[in-house]
Amino acid sequence: MNFLFHIGNYLMMLYRVFGKFTPWTIMRQLILRDIDTLIIGSTGTVIFLSFFVGGVVTIQTALNIENPLIPKTIVGFATRQSIILEFSPTLVSIIMAGKVGSYITSSIATMRVTEQIDALKIMGVNTFNYLIFPKIVAMMIYPILITFSMAFGIYGGYLAAVYGGFGTTSDFITGVTEDFRPYHVIYAYIKTLVFAFILATIPAYHGYFSKGGSLQVGKAATISFIWTSTVIIVVNYFLTQLMLT
């Protein structure tokens, strides 16, 4: 029953987010601030992780190919498929649940425990729209971040393959372009947009409805990460079933 209560409360929160809107002059500043914090501030981390994970995927694929009849191009093909279909949209989003999600939860929860949200309510502000809507809008450009992840993941794989002696430039590029289906990229971006909405709203929910003092802020951030990651994994399963089968 507690689980159903939280689902209902979450849906009611989403309804209120799109209720009374904050004036655009204020909202614009909030959106730009959240874009800087949530997206631009995460770019370096995403690029760094994607670059080295792409290299690891390439090395592991190459080391597990022992049959000389298997072409070297399979290394590039496997790297591309792993990065585009799963690592960039899904695993990066789980990482972002720890970085971005924890920030969203802790920042809103801090406003809750310091009674800043109550002060906004007294001034007649729709706190749901004021606090959560800018984060939803900011996260809608999250696919740009995933594009960087895909590009640097494949590039990291290329460098690992060529300079690690696992294949030539021609082999890797041929593998990357072999049997390429644009629909796989569309699938990845659709997943990314869904995950972006989850990353913006579930952490915000746990932050907004947190109770207690400063110790509960950390607890709310931890619970937020667990639930955000869980929902991303479950939704990923259903989206994969729906779009790839």
Q: Give pLDDT, residue 149.
A: 96
Cα separation values, 25 from 22, 83, 126, 135, Å: 8, 39, 15, 16
Query: What is the band of 5 on the pLDDT scale with cuts at 50, 70, 90?
Result: confident
Q: Give pLDDT, residue 70.
A: 77
User: In terms of residues, how long is the chain?
Assistant: 245
Lowest mean pLDDT among 9-23, 65-79, 83-97: 65-79
Q: Give pLDDT, residue 69.
A: 74
Indicate whether this model's pTM tops 0.85: yes
> φ, ψ for residue 15 (rounded to 5)?
-60, -40
